[in-house]
Structures are given as C-alpha cells and as structure tokens.
Amino acid sequence: MAFWKKANLVRGARTVIAAALTMGFIGLSVPAYAQEVAPEALAMARKYVDLTDRSAIYETTIVETGIETMRQIVQQNPEIMDKTNDAITKVIEGYKGQKGELLDQFARVYATRFSMEELQQIVDFYSSPTGQKLASANSELNTDLQRVMQVFTNNLKREFFAKVRAELRAQGVEI
C-alpha cells in the first residue's frame, strides 16, 4: 500500500476516534489514586469490598500466575517440574496474608468515586439478603455478560462492515 494511502487511513481512523470522543462514546478518565481520602470513607469502602469479594480475586490471581509460571518454565525445562512445583508452592505461600493490601487499594478507588453517604447506601444494600445474593452471583453474571458481549461484538463487526460496504457501494465504490 502506498504511503499516502496509509496516511489517509490513519487520518480517517483519527477522525473517527475524534468524533467518538466528541460524542462521548469513549470516556477517558484518570482515577484519583493519589487523592487524599478520609479514613472513615476508606473504612466504609473496604466494608463494601469485603462484602462483595466472592470470587476471591486475590487468591485466584495468585494461583493463575503460578500456573502460568509453571507452564512457562516447564515447557522449556520439563526435567525440573517437581522442583518448579515446589518453588511455586513456596512463592504462593509468601503471598498469603497480603490480600489486604490489594483490597485496600480497591477500597481507595471506591472511596475516591463515592461520597460517604453513597458508600453507606452501597454497604447497606450489600449487607441485605438481595445484596448478598447479587454479590454471590456477580462472578457467574459477569461470565454470562462477557459471553453476551462477545456474541454482540462478533455480530456487530460483520453487520457494521456490511453496512459500510453497502454505503460505499451506494457511492460507486466497490471493495
């Protein structure tokens, strides 16, 4: 492809992105991690995080990282599988007791986004039977929603391309 065609393609993509930003389709915000947060807001946000931590994200992430590390090392060095397993087990043990640090960071994110009153309402809801049911179901719900979104995205890509192609055809351009 000629340079000028590539340049036009990039310019066209930039135009689409700029239009999307202008229309609010893409929202970019920077979290206020460094922002000072009142200790009571952090405590309330942490209460919410604790109430909704049903999928054990910290533990799951540590174990998944251990599995990924095992695959990576053993693929190249199958003869050290047992030693690698022992090493990974030892390293995983070292991460026990550090979950609170991650959950505190989650709490900080919520505390910077919600007022104390809103955090209290959130905690009250998730302390209720319905809130507990939602917290328990969230992991499965997220998986189901990801599947729905994947089907939507796949269909949208085909449909969108076909519509653009039809629009171009209407202008006398055949691709």
105 and 67 in one domain?
Answer: yes
83 and 165 in one domain?
Answer: yes
134 and 115 in one domain?
Answer: yes
Predicted local distance difference test score (pLDDT) of residue 54: 81
Q: What is the pLDDT of residues 3-26, one digit of tens each?
A: 334 444 444 444 444 444 444 443
Contacts for 82-85: CB closer than 8 Å, 24+ residues apart: none
Query: Residue range 78-85: average pLDDT?
Result: 96
The label of the residue with tokens 């039977």 reads 129
Nearest to 50 by CA among 58, 40, 38: 58
Q: Tell whether 13 is covered by a domain.
A: yes
80 and 159 in one domain?
Answer: yes
Is pTM beyond 0.75 here?
no
C-beta atoms surrounding 169 within 10 Å = 11
52 and 25 in one domain?
Answer: no
For residues 58 and 98, what is the distance between their CA atoms, to the nearest angstrom? 9
Q: Going by C-beta distance under 8 Å and a sequence separation of 6 or more, which residues neighbour residue 125? A: 131
**More confident site: 139 or 114:** 114
133 and 90 in one domain?
Answer: yes
Q: Are 131 and 125 in contact (CB under 8 A)?
A: yes
Across all residues in the chain, what is the average pLDDT? Answer: 85
Query: Residue range 21-43: average pLDDT?
Result: 63
> Residue 157 — φ and ψ, nearest 5°?
-60, -45
Q: Tell whether 154 is covered by a domain.
A: yes
Asked if residue 35 has pLDDT above 90, the reply is no
Domain that holds residue 76: 38-170
12 and 91 in one domain?
Answer: no
